[in-house]
Amino acid sequence: MPFDKKDILDIASLSVEDIQLILDTAESMREISERPIKKVPALRGKTVVLFFYEPSTRTRLSFDLAAKRLSADSVAISADMSSLVKGETLLDTARNIEAMRPDVVVLRHAYSGAPQFLAGRLKASVINAGDGTHAHPSQALLDMLTVRRKKGTLQGLKIAIVGDIAHSRVARSNCVGFTKMGAQVVMAGPPTMIPKGIETLGATVAPSIEDAMSDADVIMMLRIQKERLKKFSMSTEREYARHFGLNRQRVALARQDVVIMHPGPINRGVEIAPDVADGPHSIILDQVTNGVAVRMALLYLVLGGGRHADTD
């Protein structure tokens, strides 16, 4: 079945078949990054603009690498180095970018809905690289690929997502994605960080972190988004680690073959102990590796991959 989406804005607008196609395409893209010459001509002549209004290491770099490994030309612009600082609006900036005829605009923005706003106004494909607290679809897709590779399936797994759910676009996209693919998502965290109505996305809220971890196949820890909180001190961090941090004792509550995930960046010693982050259950760096493959798949598919592109 061909992929017919112009834009990738969230997981909710992808069908189960779309997600399967993206994961299968990403699986075939993985091998390109293992070659001595990490480049195929699939997107030769295409232009990808990376437009990041918020800081990023993993997402920005992996979209850039993904474009380059498929032979597209990529160019990055960040808010502080653009004419936004001179008062230009997002729409005017985007119209000016479009006047230069890019094929894809990858956008990260602090406002939920900003990628959707542009997608309805630009001919270029828009890929959401994280918007406010709304969605981070490429992160959820790379997380699903990483779990599928480790467990063989997503169906029937218990996924515990723990931490600052309220501010987390990763939690929302993963909740929608994993439940869509037949997993059970359980969330836990400080009551002030669990938004009302989160169950409408398909998750259940556990009464305690220990309940969430019990028999979990996957534990996904989230960092506290200090930049979105008014007050968060060192002593609060210590308290947080004691009550909600992932340590070896809590990992022992989960299944023996549990895998530990984190979208990054990690606050070591706060939401996750260093020996757990670097321990035998951790697949945090696999997530990063798979991020390049998933973003290659997304660029390839929105640009008509499979119909006329060449990945040999």
Nearest approach, Cβ of 288 to ligand CP (angstroms)? 9
Q: Please check whether residue 142 is in contact with residue 168, taking contact to mean a CB–CB distance below 8 angstroms.
A: no
Nearest approach, Cβ of 112 to ligand CP (angstroms)? 15
167 tagged catalytic: no
108 tagged catalytic: yes
Task: Give one word for 297, left, alpha or beta, with left for phi > 0 and alpha for psi -120 to 50.
Answer: alpha
Q: Name the residue nearer to ligand CP (CB basis): 253 or 288.
A: 288
Task: Tell me whether the omega of the peptide bond preceding residue 280 falls within 30 degrees of 0, making it cis.
Answer: no
Nearest approach, Cβ of 210 to ligand CP (angstroms)? 26
Q: Name the residue nearer to ligand CP (CB basis): 106 or 198.
A: 106
Nearest approach, Cβ of 284 to ligand CP (angstroms)? 10
Q: Which of 60, 108, 180, 223 is catalytic?
A: 108
112: which DSSP letter? T
Q: Please check whether residue 33 is in contact with residue 297, taking contact to mean a CB–CB distance below 8 angstroms.
A: no
Q: Name the residue nearer to ligand CP (CB basis): 130 or 305.
A: 130
CA trace torsion 164, 220, 141, 206 (10° rounding): -70
Q: How many CB atoms lie within 10 A of CB 182?
A: 12
Q: Name the residue nearer to ligand CP (CB basis): 139 or 290.
A: 139
For residue 209, the surrounding DSSP H or E stretch is helix 209-213
133 tagged catalytic: no
Burial (0-12, 13-18, 19+ Cβ within 10 Å), 268? middle
Residues that bind ligand CP (CB under 6 A): 56-59, 130, 139, 263-265
Q: Which of 59, 93, 133, 146 is catalytic?
A: 59
Q: Name the residue nearer to ligand CP (CB basis): 59 or 133.
A: 59
Q: Name the residue nearer to ligand CP (CB basis): 148 or 169.
A: 169
60 tagged catalytic: no
148 tagged catalytic: no
Looking only at the bridges linking them, the beta strands covering 125-131 and 73-78 are unpaired
Q: Which of 5, 30, 58, 150 is catalytic?
A: 58
Nearest approach, Cβ of 170 to ligand CP (angstroms)? 7
Nearest approach, Cβ of 266 to ligand CP (angstroms)? 10
Looking only at the bridges linking them, the beta strands covering 158-162 and 184-188 are parallel
Residues belonging to the active site = 58-59, 86, 108, 136
